[in-house]
Amino acid sequence: MSAPAPAQHYGSLRRILALVRKESWQVIRDPSSIAVGIIMPMMLLILFGYGLSFDLKNLPLALVMEENSAEALGAVSGFELSEYFQTYPVKTMAEAERLLKDKTVSGIVRIPPQFARDVALGNGDIQIVVNGTDANTARISLAYAQGAVATWLARKAAEGKIVGSGASVDMQTRLWFNEANESSYFLVPGLIVLVMTLIGALLTALVMAREWERGTFEALFVTPVRPVEILLGKVIPYFVLGMLGLALSVIGSQILFHVPLRGSLWILVIVSMLYLIVALGIGLLISSVTKSQFVASQITLVVTFLPAMMLSGFMFDIRSMPLIIQFITYIFPGRYFVSVLQTLFLAGDIWGVILPNAAVLAVMAAVLMAASVRATRKKLG
């Protein structure tokens, strides 16, 4: 006669709790798990937040002053006083070009002769030359230089002096969602994706593959423990570790970088849990198929970490990628998580973005966990 269903459930829960307790002690005693789960998130947060920035400052510029009039000095004051530029006054254009070729400077600002007279006539010109070797840096440098010139033009317009041909235009601009124009506002939310991927996919794949190599799973297979109970016992400690990494990242984003969180914290937690389950499922599936730490680590890096960094929208705008690459990005869960995180942090609870992306993550989580249970079926080898 079979035991009553409640007794079966109780026995199953007791086995899962025993496995969770065993795995938790193993995580605590394993320095690599602590390093990846706690130390690594803080290191990544500090390195990416402070070290990686799309904002250019102290950009070296050569100033060629072919006239020393008051108008010329006023025009270059925007460059000399700006925190974005470090100016190097030179006497000739040939000398400035040499510095540009030697990469001593990244651009040239030239004030031509008779500049004051041309300004008085309403058609003063300033020549700006930018090194285009790095196209992204060149665009940002040119924009900063144009901003400095625009500031000077605004001062001239306020004095009633119109410089340049054509009608005077009063241009008013406003930056939405990132008024401070800080790249850390864009980078730090995306960094959470890397933290969750490291803990959920890479760490889990390595630990599970190590279990296969050492034969620990074979020892579990001769016990009454079922595959789903084994997976739950292994996954729950790393799920808690991943949520701890999330908490550290969110707290660090608020305290260290003052990144606004305009959306709901609870929605952030729920969506992060979905992504963490997806990452755990990928790690379990890879380790179950490969059963080798080295192979599992290589595959996990290629399948999860690199796409999370390169193809998720974390560092590069997906819309600027070739069409075929844009289609490929739909395969990787990082794309959906990054979209939700950036929306929650910078825009708020925009349900038209949150719900579709969260739904895709939920489907991925269900499919990957089912595949992991199937791959880790109870058998030897």
Q: What is the structure's pLDDT at 91?
A: 86
Least confident of 2-11, 71-80, 249-258: 2-11
Q: What's the pTM value of the predicted model, to 2 decimals?
A: 0.75
Q: What is the structure's pLDDT at 214?
A: 74
Q: Percentage of residues in the chain with pLDDT exceeding 70?
A: 81
- Backbone phi, then psi, for 53, in 5-degree steps? -150, 140
Give the Cα separation of 32 and 347 in Å (integer).
36
Q: What is the structure's pLDDT at 381?
A: 46
Average pLDDT over residues 352-357: 93
Q: What is the structure's pLDDT at 135?
A: 65
Residue 3 DSSP code: P
Q: Are strands 127-130 and 107-111 parallel, antiparallel or unpaired?
A: antiparallel
Domain 59-159 has CATH 3.40.1710.10: yes
Paired tokens of 95: 């000398």
Q: What is the structure's pLDDT at 313?
A: 84
Please report which confidence band the pLDDT of residue 140 belongs to, taking 50, 70 and 90 as the band edges.
confident
- Backbone phi, then psi, for 92, in 5-degree steps? -130, 160
Query: Residue 296's CB: how many other CB atoms inside 10 A?
Result: 27
Average pLDDT over residues 312-336: 87
In the numeric block, the tokens 């606004």 are attached to 260
pLDDT in tens, 154-177: 777 776 665 554 333 344 455 667
pLDDT in tens, 174-205: 566 776 667 778 778 888 888 888 888 888 88
Give the Cα separation of 194 and 300 in Å (integer).
13
pLDDT in tens, 12-47: 777 777 777 777 777 677 666 666 667 777 777 777
pLDDT in tens, 40-93: 777 777 776 666 666 677 888 899 988 888 888 888 888 888 888 888 899 888
* Averaged pLDDT of the chain: 80
Q: Percentage of residues in the chain with pLDDT exceeding 90?
A: 15
Q: What is the structure's pLDDT at 259?
A: 87
Name the residue among 222, 155, 182 with its Cα closest to residue 57: 182
| Complete DSSP assignment for 254-286 | HHTS-----S-HHHHHHHHHHHHHHHHHHHHHH
Q: What is the structure's pLDDT at 7?
A: 54
Query: Residue 86's CB: how many other CB atoms inside 10 A?
Result: 15
Contact 141, 107 (CB under 8 A): yes
For the chain, the structural domain boundaries read: 15-52+182-377, 59-159
